[in-house]
Amino acid sequence: MASTAPAERLNEVKERIARAAALARRSPDEVTLIAVSKTHPPEAIAPLIESGQRVFGENRVQEAQAKWPELRERFPDIGLHLIGQLQSNKADEAVVLFDAIHSVDRLSLVTALGKAMDKAGRRPACFIQVNIGDEPQKGGCAVSEVEALVAACRAAGLPLAGLMCIPPADVEPAPYFALLSKLARRHGVSGISMGMSSDYETAVTVGATHVRVGTALFGERS
Ligand SMILES: *Cc1c(COP(=O)(O)O)cnc(C)c1O
């Protein structure tokens, strides 16, 4: 896969998204492809940008700070999404750097992000991460906590864009994706961030508005 040109890999992923959307009678324009560039150097990222990709995902604040300011000088219209866990003490830096944050999962972080946004005068879109399979080791709030977190985000003035999940590994993901879609509808949020390289087509058929794809675009991470 790594021997294929980035432009070809990008086209392949976009075609698969379009086919999955068509199956579900959705427009492919409803789905934002987030190219997950974590661990990959700027030299690997630039060809994808030159092929037209504009939205990227990183999972660590520090790594993104090291990689993106220079790339963004060359390509000012990039959208950068934080898809990994965020510590409250990094909220200021995250709010300055990212256009969206997919890992809002607890009240203390909602408070920290609200303060950071007031201070920076910048309000990245926020997704509440839900621990959809109720796994002890996973990030995300419990399904039972979604309602309280939605309310807290709204009260703190966070622009609530949607919900995000990472389903349990090695089991059929569709039921978990369907549950996240249902939770999003129930709580009146339109964004649904779900689906990775192995399951983004399934995610699109059950309502994903944002898919986070790394390996299928960049090849395996070392
Ligand atoms: C790394 C990562 C992805 C992308 O995973 P791939 O399997 O490489 O597509 C998506 N979402 C999150 C939260 C990640 O950490």
Task: Report the CATH number that the domain containing residue 72 is assigned in CATH.
Answer: 3.20.20.10
Residue 1 falls within a domain, yes or no?
Answer: no
Structurally, the chain folds into a number of domains equal to 1
Q: What is the DSSP letter of 169?
A: T
Q: What is the DSSP letter of 26?
A: -
Residue 222 falls within a domain, yes or no?
Answer: no
Distance in Å, CA 57 to ligand 1 centroid: 9
> Could you tell which of 33, 37, 83 is best to mutate to test the pocket of ligand 1, judged by most ligand atoms within 8 Å of the CB?
83
| d(C-alpha 208, C-alpha 49), whole Å | 23
Residue 62 falls within a domain, yes or no?
Answer: yes
Q: What is the DSSP letter of 140?
A: S
Q: How many alpha carbons lie under 13 Å from residue 85 in its C-beta half-sphere?
A: 7
Distance in Å, CA 92 to ligand 1 centroid: 24
Domain with 147 in it? 6-19+28-217
pLDDT digits (tens, 9 = 90+) for 8-47: 999 999 999 999 999 999 999 999 999 999 999 999 999 9
pTM over 0.85: yes
Residue 182 falls within a domain, yes or no?
Answer: yes
User: Closest ligand 1 atom to the C-alpha of 196?
Assistant: 9
Query: Residue written as tokens 């999962």?
Result: 105
Residue 140 falls within a domain, yes or no?
Answer: yes
